[in-house]
Structure 1
Amino acid sequence: MNKTDRLLAIVLELQRKGTLRAEDLAAIFETSVRTIYRDVQALSEAGVPIVGAPGQGYSLMEGYFLPPLHFSADEAVTLLLGLDFVEQQLDPLYLAKAKASRKKIEAILPQAVQREVEKTRSGMKLLTAQSAADADSRTMLQLLRQAIQEERKVRFLYTKKLPEADGNRQNLRTVAPYGLVFVNGSWGLLGYCELRADIRRFLVKRMRDLTLLDEKAVRPPDFNLQDYTPADDRTMTITVRIAHDVSDKARESRFYYIDAIQDHPDGLLVTLRVRQPEEVLPWVLGWGSKAVVVEPESFRLQVRKEIENMLKHY
C-alpha cells in the first residue's frame, strides 16, 4: 500500500472505529509506529482534524466526516450483490432501504463505471436459498429485529423436526433474543430459552404466533454473536456406503450431518454424526438401493424396518 492510499485508509479506520492507538494502526497497515506518526502529521497538515489523547490514541474531531467516495466497478458490484441478498431475505423495512440504497449507488456511478457494473452483474446471479423469504417470514424477521433492538423477550409456538420424549413436536417458548443468524439458506433466532434454561437456535420458519413481550431481555455483557459457536451435541456416528454411480451427488449434497467422506473400492464411505438416527433416516432412504448402512447394526435394523413398513403400502 502506497502512502496516499494508507493516509486515506487511516482516516476511514478512525471514522469507523472512533479511537485507535498508533500501535493499532501500525498493526493494521503492517508498518512501523514511526511511520504512523509521520502519516498522522501529514494528515493534520492537510487539514484533517485528528485529535491525539495521551495513553488513548488518535480520533477524528467530532462532527468531521469524510466526503462520499468514488466506487470502482468491482466495489459497486460487491455492494449491489449485498443489496440483492437484503431484498431477497430481509423484512419490508430493509427491503425499502435496499432499493433506496441501490438508487443512490447507481446515481453516483460515472457512466463508464455503470456500464462495466451492468456487464459484470449480467453474468452473476445471487441465490441465497431455494426461494426468497415469504411474507410471513419477513414479518417475523421485522418483529424479531425489533425485539433485539428494544431488548424485549419474545414468545412463540415452536415446531421441532422430531418429536420430544412425550411425543409432542410443538411447545411454547419464551426467549430472550440475542441475534439473528443466516445458516444454510434459513434464518434462525439465537437466544436464551427459558424452557431449556440455555442458549438455543430456533428456525424462523418453524415459529408460529410470535409475540413481543414487555418483559426486559438482558443479554450477557460477555456474549458476542460474531464469536459464538454452539456446542456440538451430535455424539452418534453412522457410516453409509454410497454407490459409485451417485457418489458425485453425495459429495455435492452438503448434507449438514456429513462429517467425513472417504473413497472405498465398493463405493463412497460417508460418516454422519447425529443426535439421534431419525435425523438422517429420510436422507438414507432417499438414495434407495444406492445406499447401504455399514454401521451401527441398530440403525441397519431401523432402516430395514422402515422399508418393510413402506412395502405394506405397495
Structure 2
Amino acid sequence: MNRIDRLTGILTHLQTKRTIKAIELADRFGVSLRTIYRDVRALEETGVPIIGEAGQGYSLVDGYRLPPVMFTKKEALAFIVAEKLVEKNMDEESNTYFKEALIKIKAILKSDEKDLIGRMDDSILVLDSHPISSQKRQSRNFQKVLDAISERKILKTVYSTFEPKTTTQRTLEPVGIYHSFSQWYMIAYCHLRKDYRTFRIDRFEEIQVREETYVLSKHPKLQRFLDKLSEEQKLFQIVIRVQERGLKFLQNMKYNLGYVSEKKVGMETEMIFMNSSLEWFLRSIIHMTDMLRIVEPAELKISLEGLLADIRNTQDSF
C-alpha cells in the first residue's frame, strides 16, 4: 500500500470510532508505530483536525466531514448483527471486502452511534450461522431485545418453554444475545429465578421494554456465560449414514440437528452431528429411518428399536 492510500485509510479509520490507538492503526496497515506518527502528523499539516491524547489515542473533532446521510440507532445496531452473521457465512475473500465496506459505513456515523457500536459489540455473538427461519415473532422480539440491551432497560416478558410446555411471566435484565443452530438466544438475569438463564428469542409470547434501567457492568460478559455453557452442556456425537434418496429430506433441517460435517462412504453419505439430546434427535429423524442407518452411539440404536416398538404397540391398540 502506498502512502497516499494509507493516509486515506487512516483518515477513514479515524472516523469509525471515537478514539483509536496508534498500535491499532499500525496493526491495521502493517506498518511501524513511527510510520503512524509521521502519517498522523502529515494529516494534521494538511488541516485535518486530529486530537491526540496520551494513553487514549487519536480522535477527530466531532462533526468533521459530517456527511448528509444520517443513521438511526436501530440502523447502527443492524451493522453489528450483519457484520457478525456475514463473518460466519462468507468466504474469506468476500468477508474481507465486506469488512472494508463496513468500515467506510461506520466512518459516517455520529459519535453517539460509534459509542453504541462499541458498547454492543461484546453483547452479540454468532457461534455458527445458517439460514435463519423467517418467523415473524422472532423478528419482532429480536429488535426489542436489541433495544433493551443498548439502552440497558429491563424487559417484562411472557415466556413459553417447549418441553415441558409451561408459560411464565419473567422480568429480565438482558446480558447479550448469541446465534446458534439457526436460532437467536438471549442470556439474561431472571428476577423470577434469581439467577441467569438462557431464553430462545422466538419463544417469547410477549416482550415489553420498560423504562426502568439496570447496570450492565454488574453482569459478567456474554462470552463468560457461553464458555460456561459449553463446559456444562454434554454433547453427544452422532454418526449416521444416509442413502442418496434421503439427503433431500435432511438439507433443510440438518443444521437444527447440530450438523458438523459429511463425507461420501461408498453409495451413502456419512453425516456427523453434535446434539445434547439423543431423544430429540431421534424423534426428528424417525420419519426417514428407512433411508438411513445409525453408526453411533449404540444407545441411539437401542432407543430407535424401543421407539419403533412403542409406535407399533400404539397403533395396534386402536
Pairing of 1:1-314 with structure 2 (within 5 A): 1-65=1-65, 67=67, 128-131=131-134, 133-134=135-136, 136-163=137-164, 168-194=165-191, 198-213=195-210, 215-220=212-217, 223-225=220-222, 229-230=226-227, 231-232=229-230, 233-237=232-236, 239-246=238-245, 248-249=247-248, 253-259=254-260, 261=262, 264=265, 267-311=268-312, 312-313=314-315
CA distance in 2, matches of 1:300, 1:30: 55
Return the letter of the residue paired with 1:2.
N
Return the letter of the residue paired with 1:129.
I
Return the letter of the residue paired with 1:43.
L
CA distance in 2, matches of 1:237, 1:184: 15
Deviations 1:148-197 (A, max 9, x none): 2342322333223322xxxx544443321123445454443332234555
User: Structure 1 unaligned runs (5+)?
Assistant: 70-78, 86-104, 106-126
Paired residues, number: 256
**TM-score with structure 2 setting the length:** 0.64
Structure number, greater radius of gyration: 1
CA distance in 1, matches of 2:222, 2:9: 27
Deviations 1:205-239 (A, max 9, x none): 21113344565433235744578735224425253
> Bigger shift: 226-235 or 21-30?
226-235
Closer, same or farther in 2 for the Cα pair 1:36/1:66, shift >3 Å? farther
Q: CA deviation at 1:281?
A: 1.9
Deviations 1:54-90 (A, max 9, x none): 4443322344235579xxxxxxxxx9xx6xx9xxxxx
CA distance in 2, matches of 1:226, 1:4: 39
User: Structure 2 unaligned runs (5+)?
Assistant: 70-78, 86-104, 106-129
Structure 1 residue aligned with 2:123: none
Return the letter of the residue paired with 2:132.
A
CA distance in 2, matches of 1:52, 1:238: 53
Return the letter of the residue paired with 1:218.
V
CA distance in 2, matches of 1:256, 1:199: 25
Closer, same or farther in 2 for the Cα pair 1:176/1:31, shift >3 Å? same
Is residue 247–residue 268 contact of structure 1 (8 Å, CA) maintained in 2? no
Structural RMSD (CA): 3.8
CA distance in 1, matches of 2:46, 2:223: 37
> Bigger shift: 295-304 or 32-41?
295-304
Closer, same or farther in 2 for the Cα pair 1:209/1:23, shift >3 Å? closer
> Bigger shift: 24-33 or 271-280?
271-280
Q: Per chain length, whose mean CA-contact separation is higher, i.e. which structure has more relative contact order (CA < 8 Å, sep 6+)?
A: 2
Q: Percent identity?
A: 29
CA distance in 2, matches of 1:180, 1:4: 40
Closer, same or farther in 2 for the Cα pair 1:297/1:150, shift >3 Å? same
